[in-house]
């Protein structure tokens, strides 16, 4: 039967070479199976005829039966349209056609009654429906099913008479040809335990359900299956990693105790202590650690990373920490160097701007084992950088690094072992997404802020409050604090970007003529950025005007105000990151979002979310909801989120069930060798052979 599914689409009755080529090109439909998995994106319920008075929502298609009372061509020259007024006993509605006007006007006659089907628009001119479908009363019987599929299609396909209806017909033909013969991949017990439809029924009902209930059941079955494969796949990777790569044991902790006793200036939070314990137990379990450390901005992840590094160093191993930008790497270096010196630990930094001489020196010292902590940027993953015995690699802000880059860290030591890996992210990933993306990683969460932190107060202002804004900043500076003013990055144009921030800088200078102001933007050399950053850190400048280059990790506790200009242009997680630049010390901090007064609904929702909450996880969930999963934290590169039907921002319940089921399957039959799991294994193999590339990574 599988042969049948992989049959080329050209052989299906009603297709032929020309349409096949179009289907290939336009929808990537090559085989029977591809067509079958081209699911409807919505359904239309034609079972009900609404009264005009009942039309109330702009998001539903309505079917009405009404009499034509006026047919009126409108407009002039190129801007013509057809206006048709129709009525039933409850009211009237205007129908509009902007294309094929003469053809549509011929379909209708004054005084005739027709069935119209379409989506309403509510405007100040009243209720109307644009381009409704016209169903002649005599044809009404033709639509037998009450729940009709609507398929995505394209103009080119439409020209080949493959509109939604045409595609529907092809699928009908296909189902008739192969009906009831699909191989069931899910084991019997699973189907009955989770009360799932059989694959045969699901594939029929997803296209041609009797009603909503059948459609929903088919949807659940297909989503479940899709999510199950991902979970099984991730667990397989994890198992492979655990069995292949024996982890180095790191039982000694002498330096950690010294650090606690003599150096650490504050108490760890309970969350930090818990996570350190989790990491320590990973490091002594016998397997290679691959742990994702999540924690909101300012929750103290770096410190946890440092303690983890001290464990490795106590056992005679080297460590490294990789950051996405030079500014950040530098900051880690300065922060950690203080501690390291007190503990007599060798620490060095390697970035793009390290001099050639110094670089060569560092390369040698690494191989000789003279450096304990190597801080750096991408420069760390260059081929030439080799360690004597790298025991732990920490990756900060991991979403900034491509998957392939992370993989390179694995081959950094001469011996045949892989270092333990700790990845940290301050962009909290919603649980559903984490389960899918990092199903093979262990996850630790720091869910507590260091004591004494005050909630950042956030406000949404528009241009009318500009003077008040300047007054506010002045006051903060008067009492000794500092402020950031952030301009958006216009990605398409670096020039515009630069112009934007330079104009901002000048206007801020005009507003605060007596106050020293710094500036940082993407076009500056790393040294100049560092210089400006240090000027600000050392309170030489009081206001720092910047683009999003300061987004991640920058730590200046005395800066208490962040103003974000054109805030509506930023994504939610980015806004949250930026806001995390303040609220890092004991002083009350403020985030002021400046935006136009008229912004899109989506933008307003983003900004109001910021005003309402400081909780990174709530924000991440909202972000996922508003944006959809494809774009979260640069995850689009992973390929793992290309679902046909599942939607991880909406299908959390099904995802959890699928995860639970996959855990059970793998526990009972790790290699999927039993008869029960035979089809499952085959299917998995087929599905993921193409994705083997990223399988190796963390
Ligand atoms: P993250 O990387 O999670 O955003 P950092 O590690 O940069 O946060 O920590 C933010 C600030 O909080 C730093 O100045 C750090 O020294 C401080 N910090 C970390 N842990 C604690 C703690 N337990 N108590 C007080 N301050 C802490
Ligand atoms: Mg950090």
Q: Could you say which ligand is closest to the alpha carbon of residue 265?
A: 1
Determine, yes or no, domain membership for 677.
no
pLDDT at 316: 96
409: pLDDT confidence band, cut at 50, 70 and 90? Answer: low
238 pLDDT higher than 80: no
pLDDT at 84: 95
CB-based contact 426:578 (threshold 8 Å): no
If asked whether residues 63 and 149 sit together in one domain, one would say no
625: pLDDT confidence band, cut at 50, 70 and 90? Answer: confident
If asked whether residues 367 and 489 sit together in one domain, one would say no
Residues 204-226 have a mean pLDDT of 92
Q: Whose CA is nearest to atom 1 of ligand 1?
A: 298
Residues 88-104 have a mean pLDDT of 89
122 pLDDT higher than 90: no
In short, whether 436's Cβ falls inside 6 Å of ligand 1 is no
696 pLDDT higher than 60: no
Distance CA 520, CA 552 (A): 14
Choose one of 406, 425, 444: the last residue of a domain. 425
Determine, yes or no, domain membership for 74.
yes
Distance CA 526, CA 520 (A): 10
Q: What is the DSSP secondary structure assignment for residue 685, as one 8-state letter?
A: H
If asked whether residues 279 and 402 sit together in one domain, one would say yes
In short, whether 303's Cβ falls inside 6 Å of ligand 1 is yes
Residues 630-659 have a mean pLDDT of 67
Ligand 1 atom with least separation from CA of 584: 11
Distance CA 411, CA 419 (A): 9
638: pLDDT confidence band, cut at 50, 70 and 90? Answer: very low
In short, whether 584's Cβ falls inside 6 Å of ligand 1 is yes
Distance CA 433, CA 636 (A): 12
If asked whether residues 30 and 55 sit together in one domain, one would say no
Q: Whose CA is nearest to atom 23 of ligand 1?
A: 268
Q: Whose CA is nearest to atom 5 of ligand 1?
A: 300
Determine, yes or no, domain membership for 13.
yes
Query: For residue 253, which phi and psi values (nearest 5 degrees)?
Result: -140, 20
- Please choose, from the candidates 382, 353, 352, 343, the residue with its C-alpha nearest in 3D space to the C-alpha of residue 366: 382
Burial of 601 (0-12, 13-18, 19+ CB in 10 A): exposed
CATH of the domain at 577: 3.40.50.300
Q: How far is CA 220 from the centre of its chain?
A: 23
CA 360–ligand 2 middle distance (angstroms) = 28
634 pLDDT higher than 50: no
In short, whether 295's Cβ falls inside 6 Å of ligand 1 is yes
CATH of the domain at 156: 1.10.150
Q: Which of 87-96, 518-527, 581-590 is least confident?
A: 518-527
> Which residues have CB less than 5 Å away from ligand 2 (the ion)?
302, 553
pLDDT at 553: 58
CA 328–ligand 1 middle distance (angstroms) = 14
140: pLDDT confidence band, cut at 50, 70 and 90? Answer: low
571: pLDDT confidence band, cut at 50, 70 and 90? Answer: confident
If asked whether residues 140 and 158 sit together in one domain, one would say no
Ligand 1 atom with least separation from CA of 446: 3
Q: Could you say which ligand is closest to the alpha carbon of residue 555?
A: 1
90 pLDDT higher than 50: yes
Ligand 1 atom with least separation from CA of 267: 23
- Please choose, from the candidates 212, 197, 210, 285, the residue with its C-alpha nearest in 3D space to the C-alpha of residue 249: 285
469: alpha, beta or left, given left = phi > 0 and alpha = psi -120 to 50? alpha
> pLDDT digits over 301-347, tens only?
999 999 999 999 999 999 999 988 787 888 899 889 999 999 999 99
Query: pLDDT: is 354 or 236 the higher one?
Result: 354
If asked whether residues 152 and 264 sit together in one domain, one would say no
If asked whether residues 262 and 373 sit together in one domain, one would say yes
Q: What is the DSSP string of 638-661?
A: GSTT--SS--TTT-HHHHHHHHHH
CA 329–ligand 1 middle distance (angstroms) = 16
> pLDDT digits over 430-475, tens only?
766 776 766 667 888 898 888 888 889 999 999 999 999 999 999 9
Q: Which of 287-291, 389-393, 485-489, 684-688 is least confident?
A: 684-688
491: pLDDT confidence band, cut at 50, 70 and 90? Answer: low
> pLDDT digits over 345-360, tens only?
999 999 988 999 999 9
pLDDT at 630: 47
% pLDDT > 90, the chain: 48
If asked whether residues 508 and 598 sit together in one domain, one would say yes
CA 543–ligand 1 middle distance (angstroms) = 23
* Residues constituting the chain: 698
* Domain residue limits at 551: 457-613
If asked whether residues 97 and 112 sit together in one domain, one would say yes
Query: pLDDT: is 100 or 511 the higher one?
Result: 511
Q: Which of 47-61, 433-447, 633-647 is least confident?
A: 633-647
142 pLDDT higher than 60: no
If asked whether residues 605 and 494 sit together in one domain, one would say yes
Distance CA 168, CA 208 (A): 9
pLDDT at 633: 41
CB-based contact 31:7 (threshold 8 Å): yes
Ligand 1 atom with least separation from CA of 268: 23
Residues 32-54 have a mean pLDDT of 87
Determine, yes or no, domain membership for 640.
no
If asked whether residues 106 and 39 sit together in one domain, one would say no
Residues 527-536 have a mean pLDDT of 87
Determine, yes or no, domain membership for 462.
yes
Distance CA 21, CA 9 (A): 9
Q: What is the mean pLDDT of the chain?
A: 85
287 pLDDT higher than 60: yes
211 pLDDT higher than 50: yes
**670: number of CA atoms within 13 Å, CB side?**
6
3-class SS of residue 391: strand
Structural domains in the chain (count): 4
If asked whether residues 320 and 389 sit together in one domain, one would say yes
148: pLDDT confidence band, cut at 50, 70 and 90? Answer: confident
Determine, yes or no, domain membership for 574.
yes
Q: Which of 146-150, 155-159, 512-516, 668-672 is least confident?
A: 146-150
Residues 289-305 have a mean pLDDT of 89
Q: Which of 235-239, 485-489, 616-620 is least confident?
A: 235-239
> pLDDT digits over 3-19, tens only?
678 889 999 999 999 99
Q: Could you say which ligand is closest to the alpha carbon of residue 295?
A: 1
pLDDT at 204: 94
Residues 241-260 have a mean pLDDT of 87
CATH of the domain at 109: 2.40.50.140
Determine, yes or no, domain membership for 367.
yes
Q: Indicate the top mutation candidate among 264, 303, 336, 422 to test ligand 1's pocket, ranked by most ligand atoms within 8 A of CB.
A: 303
In short, whether 297's Cβ falls inside 6 Å of ligand 1 is yes
Residues 644-657 have a mean pLDDT of 83
Q: What is the DSSP string of 270-333?
A: HHHHHHHHHHHHHHTSSB--EEEEEE-TTS-HHHHHHHHHHHHHHTT-EEEEE-SSHHHHHHHH
Determine, yes or no, domain membership for 236.
no
């Amino acid at each position: 039967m599988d042969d049948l599914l992989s049959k080329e689409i050209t052989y299906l009755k009603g297709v032929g070479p020309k349409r096949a080529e179009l289907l290939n090109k336009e929808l990537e439909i090559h085989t029977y199976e591809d067509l079958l998995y081209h699911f409807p994106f919505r359904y239309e319920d034609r079972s009900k005829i609404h009264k005009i008075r009942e039309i109330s929502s702009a998001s539903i298609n309505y079917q009405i039966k009404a009499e034509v009372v006026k047919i009126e061509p409108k407009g002039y020259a190129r801007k013509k349209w057809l206006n048709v007024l129709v009525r039933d006993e409850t009211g009237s509605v205007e129908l509009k056609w902007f294309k094929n006007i003469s053809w549509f006007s011929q379909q209708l006659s004054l005084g005739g009654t027709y069935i119209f089907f379409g989506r309403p628009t509510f405007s100040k001119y009243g209720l109307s429906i644009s381009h409704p479908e016209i169903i002649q009363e005599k044809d009404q019987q033709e639509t037998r099913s009450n729940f009709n599929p609507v398929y995505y299609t394209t103009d080119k396909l439409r020209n080949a008479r493959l509109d939604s209806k045409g595609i529907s017909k092809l699928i009908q033909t296909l189902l008739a040809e192969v009906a009831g013969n699909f191989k069931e991949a899910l084991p019997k017990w699973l189907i009955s335990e989770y009360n799932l439809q059989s694959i045969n029924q699901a594939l029929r009902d997803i296209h041609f359900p009797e009603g909503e209930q059948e459609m929903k059941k088919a949807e659940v079955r297909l989503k479940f299956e899709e999510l199950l494969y991902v979970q099984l796949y991730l667990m397989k990777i994890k198992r492979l990693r655990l069995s292949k790569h024996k982890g180095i044991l790191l039982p000694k902790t002498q330096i950690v105790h010294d650090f606690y006793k003599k150096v650490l200036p504050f108490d760890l939070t309970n969350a930090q202590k818990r996570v350190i314990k989790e990491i320590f137990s990973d490091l002594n379990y016998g397997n290679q650690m691959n742990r994702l450390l999540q924690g909101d901005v300012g929750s103290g992840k770096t410190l946890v990373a440092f303690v983890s590094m001290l464990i490795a160093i106590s056992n005679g191993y080297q460590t490294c920490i990789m950051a996405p930008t030079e500014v950040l790497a530098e900051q880690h270096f300065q922060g950690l160097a203080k501690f390291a010196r007190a503990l007599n630990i060798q620490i060095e930094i390697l970035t793009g701007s390290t001099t050639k001489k110094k670089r060569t020196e560092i390369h040698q010292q690494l191989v000789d084992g003279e450096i304990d902590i190597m801080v750096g940027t991408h420069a760390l993953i260059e081929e030439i950088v080799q360690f004597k015995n790298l025991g732990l690699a920490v990756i900060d802000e991991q979403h900034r690094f491509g998957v392939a880059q992370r993989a390179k860290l694995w081959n950094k030591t001469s011996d045949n072992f892989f270092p333990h890996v700790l990845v940290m992210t301050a962009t909290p990933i919603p649980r559903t997404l984490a389960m899918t993306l990092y199903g093979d990683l262990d996850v630790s969460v720091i869910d507590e802020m260091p004591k004494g932190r005050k909630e950042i107060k956030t406000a949404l202002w528009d241009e009318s409050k500009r003077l008040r804004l300047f007054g506010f900043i002045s006051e903060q500076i008067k009492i000794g604090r500092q402020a950031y003013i952030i301009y958006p990055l216009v990605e398409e144009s670096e020039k515009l970007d630069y112009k934007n921030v330079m104009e901002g800088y000048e206007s801020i200078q005009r507003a605060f003529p007596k106050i020293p102001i710094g500036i940082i933007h993407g076009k500056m050399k790393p040294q100049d950025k560092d210089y400006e950053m240090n000027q600000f850190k050392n309170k030489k400048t009081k206001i720092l005007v910047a683009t999003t280059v300061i987004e991640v990790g920058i730590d200046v506790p005395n800066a208490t105000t962040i103003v974000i200009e054109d805030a509506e242009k930023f994504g939610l997680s980015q806004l949250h990151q930026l806001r995390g630049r303040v609220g890092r010390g004991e002083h009350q901090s403020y985030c002021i979002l400046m935006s136009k007064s008229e912004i899109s609904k989506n933008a307003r929702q983003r900004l109001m979310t910021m005003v309402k909450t400081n909780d990174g996880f709530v924000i991440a969930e909202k972000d996922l909801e508003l944006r959809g999963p494809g774009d979260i934290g640069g995850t689009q590169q992973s390929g793992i989120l290309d679902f046909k039907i599942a939607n991880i921002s909406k299908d959390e319940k099904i995802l959890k069930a699928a995860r639970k089921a996959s855990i059970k399957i793998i526990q009972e039959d790790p290699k999927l060798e039993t008869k029960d799991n035979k089809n499952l294994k085959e299917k998995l193999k087929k599905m993921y052979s193409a994705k083997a590339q990223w399988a190796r990574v963390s």
